[in-house]
Amino acid sequence: MSWSVSFSISLLWICIFSSFSSSSLASAVTLSGGCNKPPILFVFGDSNSDTGGLVSGLGFPVNLPNGRTFFGRSTGRLSDGRLVIDFLCQSLNTRILTPYLDSLSGSGFTNGANFAVVGSSTLPKYVPFALNIQVMQFQHFKARSLQLASSGTKNMINEEGFRGALYLIDIGQNDLADSFTKNLSYAQVVKKIPTVIAEIENAVKSLYNEGGRKFWLHNTGPFGCLPKLIALSDKKDLDSFGCLSSYNYAARLFNEALYHSSQKLRTELKDATLVYVDIYAIKNDLIANATKYGFSNPLMVCCGYGGPPYNFNVRVTCGQPGYQVCDEGSRHVSWDGIHYTEAANTWIASKILSTAYSTPRTPFGFFCSH
């Protein structure tokens, strides 16, 4: 029997959308009709944005109940349903993005491609699928697309399309979190931050040199609040919300460095637009005020094993034999201990679309609305 409080699916969505601010909904509606040209997006990152790249690239199995809420089947996403990037795409009335590595998708790449893959980081370089490898894959994708377009192949992205596209980067969490799980000290983890930032800067500059002019940069969330990391950590330096303080201090230092990097890039890349989005603030608010927003214990995993306080056991993870899963419609923040539920991703996307967490305050659809 499930240990969570159950709601019907219809009630879930009523609760989700009733929790949105009117300004967030207005932003989403405006963006849906705001593009006067087909939106094209390219995404670089880790499992927070992977729409199936791990499965396509490595054949790694991602089983049900992943995907149960919206898709009714596993799609390679580590969630019960849609990710934040899916909602951002849908706010523009464009298809959800096809993984770059998925040659059998059948939907093509007319609205861009997703290079994000589960487990990706900026370091070490030249391993599947580090950020610089994802950029190299993009460069190959672009060169091949232009070659096919010039030979008369229809529905290929042309030079203008690549120049007008949005380049979204959401990476860095694994660089920091994995360092902690490998027993590096706080000082050792923090010492790595400048190198990670430099890799992200290099990625932006490489994409700029390929013609990209519109960038959307997510900082990292409060990974010290991820149930898996709390359950496995020996430190237990917990704050008032039950999160690992040292992990979140490191996340904030990383975000501060990324913010200053984004300011520097704006001065260096004169004709580019670069939007920095404070994902940390959005997720921290959700965790700190989960009950206020209609969610249950934000540190309790929906799909895992072991019961309270975290329902996480590294030997029985989501989808593996013996796992337990909360009822469909349950108001959980954490899906599997690392990744968020569709309900939480919906809420997070609404905050991104509100522009309240963006510097400069820019609608998500700016790249296709003029």
CA separation (Å) from 234 to 154, 244, 246?
Answer: 56, 10, 12
Contacts of 214 (CB under 8 A, 6+ apart): 164, 165, 166, 167, 272, 273, 366, 367
Give dist(CA 365, CA 353) in Å, integer.
9
Beta strands in the chain (DSSP E): 41-45, 112-114, 166-170, 214-218, 273-277, 303-304, 324-325, 358-359
Alpha-carbon 7 to chain mean position = 26
The predicted pLDDT at position 105 comes to 60
User: What CATH number does the domain located at 9-368 have?
Assistant: 3.40.50.1110
Domain layout of the chain by residue ranges = 9-368
53 has a pLDDT exceeding 80: yes
* Distance in angstroms between the alpha carbons of the first and the last residue of the chain: 53
pLDDT digits (tens, 9 = 90+) for 243-253: 999 999 999 99
Q: Which sequence positions are flagged as catalytic? A: 47, 336, 339
Bridge partners, residue 303, by sequence = 325
The DSSP symbol for 214 reads E
Question: Which backbone phi and psi does 44 adopt, to 5 degrees?
Answer: -130, 130
227-256 burial: b if 16+ Cβ within 10 Å, else e? bbbbbebeeeeeeebbbbbbbbbbbeebbe
pLDDT digits (tens, 9 = 90+) for 228-287: 999 999 878 999 999 999 999 999 999 999 999 999 999 999 899 999 999 999 999 999
Residue written as token pair 């027993």: 183
pTM of the model: 0.91
pLDDT digits (tens, 9 = 90+) for 73-131: 999 999 999 999 999 999 999 999 999 998 666 567 999 999 999 999 999 999 999 99
